[in-house]
Amino acid sequence: MLVRRIARPLLASSFVYGGIDTLRNPQSRVPGAAPVVEQIAAKADEQLPVQVPRDVEQWVKIDAGVKVAAGSLLALGKLPRLSALALSASIVPTTLAGHRFWEHDDPKERFGQLSHFLKNLGLLGGLLIAAVDTEGRPSVGYRARRAATKAADATEKNLEKAQKRAARAQRKAEKKYKKASR
């Protein structure tokens, strides 16, 4: 559909541009990302058997790479649902790290951060819609349920046929037995 061909690149453009900008200059994002990386790393260390790296600049670069790669794939319409899901997972920590409006006392700065925070929430909403968009094709779950129903119906029909054949064979065997016993 034409709308998807237009909407996906528009949705992906800010991610690709922001990712490239961050890859060129990751140091500008490190101070804001540090608290979020620390929280995520601490939680991950509690739940995972390996220790998660705490190099904030490395995490910023990884996040930027995900945005460039997934944004490009989304814009091109290649693996759009997976790309949108990856961008959705990426935008949450980015928003929490970069637009902490609740930490600002200056009303102008607070409003600016709040508007960026809400913009990112809007982008997240668009990505979630893109992540579940099946382009009119039935979902995998629907296709699996339909295949299971068809298989069950076919098995039931085959069972009925086999029961009829067995009943016929039994009647035939009983007739032969009666003839032989006379």
The string of pLDDT tens digits covering residues 161-172 is 999 999 999 999
Please tell me the predicted confidence (pLDDT) of residue 36. 87
The structure tokens listed for 5 are 């061909």
- Sequence spans of domains, the chain: 2-132, 139-182
Q: Which DSSP category does 137 fall into? A: S
Quote the pTM value: 0.70
Low-confidence ranges of the chain (pLDDT < 70): none
The helix, strand and coil proportions of the chain, stated in percent and rounded to the nearest 5, come to 85, 0, 15
